[in-house]
Amino acid sequence: MKRSVFILALVPSILVLAACTREVVALPTLATGPTPTFEPVTSPTPTLEPSPTVNPTLTLYEKFTTRANGICKEANEQVSALSYPIEGEISRGEAAGSYQEIAEYLEKFVTIEGTALDQLRPLPPPKEETEIFGEYLSALGELIELVREEAADLRAGNLAGYEGSIQRGHAVEAEMSTLAGQAGIRHCGLMRSP
């Protein structure tokens, strides 16, 4: 009888203790001996499921080069998909019509590369690549302008102007290739005028 009274007296203090600690406490069992022991009942620790695909964190440089190379690669593929309108020598009789076709081709090139330039401009390069990337963007802009001039010269029948733009374009392309290599944007170094 003493043991039952003792257990009944302990129940309120067990409930108060459980309420204070917010843990469920097991009641003592009568079969364990004269001194009851109390062990808290806890729920299993929840485990967090790992995300299905864990990508390593890219550095600012990697993000920049990945995005820039993607833009340039897409532009290069679009330009490659264009078919150059003429193969071989042009006879005098075909010249005027052929020049118009080449001009149209060059205008498509300008549109594709201009779109790429517009997409490249807002990319934030790493601090150490800012100057080189700025120079690259300027060179690409210059190349686009030269090709635009080539198209205009062909449409106007100005072959001397067309040839001059081509020569200047080769120098700009070499500069672009060097700058793209320094900035780590290799696909952008492959952008060439037709």
Residue-level pLDDT at 105: 93
Q: Which residue has the higher pLDDT, 143 or 83?
A: 143
Has residue 173 got a pLDDT over 60? yes
Residue-level pLDDT at 56: 58
Has residue 190 got a pLDDT over 90? no
Q: Which of 28, 26, 46, 49 is nearest to 37 (CA)?
A: 28
Has residue 4 got a pLDDT over 80? no
- Residue type at 192? R
Residue-level pLDDT at 93: 47
Prediction pTM value: 0.66
> Largest Cα–Cα distance in the chain?
125
On average, the pLDDT of the chain sits at: 76
Helix (H, G, I), strand (E, B) or coil at 41: strand
**22: pLDDT confidence band, cut at 50, 70 and 90?**
very low
Residue-level pLDDT at 21: 43
Has residue 114 got a pLDDT over 80? yes
Burial class (CB in 10 A: 0-12, 13-18, 19+), 123: middle
Has residue 92 got a pLDDT over 80? no
33: left (phi over 0), alpha (psi -120 to 50) or beta: left
* Mean pLDDT to the nearest integer, 159-181: 92
The pLDDT tens digits for 121-133 are: 999 999 999 999 9
Residue-level pLDDT at 122: 96
Residue-level pLDDT at 24: 44
The pLDDT tens digits for 39-91 are: 554 444 444 444 334 345 778 889 999 999 999 999 999 999 998 876 655 54
Q: How many CB atoms lie under 10 A from the CB of residue 146?
A: 23
